[in-house]
Structure 1
Amino acid sequence: MSRETKKKQKYVKKISQRSKSYKFGEQRYFNANKSINKKTPKKYYKQTKQVHKKTKPVDKEVDLYQSHLPETAGYIDTHVKASEELEKIEKSKTLRLTQEDILQQSDLISASKRFELTLPKLGPYNINYSRSGRYLLIGGNRGHIASIDWMSKKLTCEFQLKETVRDVQYLHNENMFAVAQKK
């Protein structure tokens, strides 16, 4: 193989590898898997040039948009740090995860959103957040219904029904909700 065809093959491989990360649909312009032989190197060279011209502005846009996307989803590291006694314990048991563990691993803004509701008499409770995520609807098994703006910690409405509540659900906005009552 001549030096030029090797360069062209490297160029085709480079473009095909680069485009793999941005591939959202079919590959339209050329098949990078075809090998370049001595008869048609100009054809593939032209195709790669065309692809490069067409994808260059798109690659810049994709880079811009990918910079706004989160790299990884949030998670909590439950691994226990080195200690001979604790090495015997299973390291990633999420059953032992407490609210304090979550609070320690979260940032300040997320930690400030934490709130506690103590409702021991009328539970267990079903909850539902509005589509905006601002309002919380709770429904106790013994008939207690409340809608709360959890960011400002203000109660928007509260009812005490005299029937069993199975489930609660906001409808199209936070002003209307449905309650599933006894069978």
Structure 2
Amino acid sequence: MDDPDFREFVEVRYPDLLRTAYLLTGSRDAAQDLVHEALLKVMRHWLRVDDPMAYVRRAMVNERNSRWRRRGLRELLTAAIPDRPSPDATDAVVVRDELLAALDRLPNRMRTVLVLRYWEDLSEATVAEAMGCSVGTVKSQAARGLTRLRDVLGRPVHGAATVPNKLVGERG
């Protein structure tokens, strides 16, 4: 397929998709695979897709869940991150690594809710739609996830005010 609209979508959104996939998987290689699988699904249905970002997010969540179930175990987070921080960002890197390690200790569903809700800054309804669950499930998983992160990190975690850009890297 050589649709210029699809090509532009990929060129513009790929870095954001890769960061989200990295947060969902904890590995750069797995994140790239996840994004590529999702983009293949979108490409096949491009002319019928109304909201490509929502479609790609849903495809990434579904693929991540399928892989996680098939393997029966979780990947380990690595020290390598998709973005290279500037030398003066040492504190941010330390905090980011702590957060990624803490996210790795969460169950897959809880981690997915936190990534979509606070990193992607999606509404509870949009997260519920992407995950195929109820808004109540998203709310309870987010609350439990933030409590778990607070316990693991040993300091307050205040949802969107703490989790995105500052801790995980700047979004472009």
State the TM-score bracket (shorter-chain normalisation): under 0.3
Q: TM-score, normalised by structure 2?
A: 0.23
**Which structure has the higher relative contact order (CA within 8 Å, separation 6+)?**
2
Q: TM-score, normalised by structure 1?
A: 0.22
Structure with more of its chain in helix, by fraction: 2
Structure with more of its chain in strand, by fraction: 1
Instruction: Indicate the structure (1 or 2) with the bigger Cα radius of gyration.
Output: 1
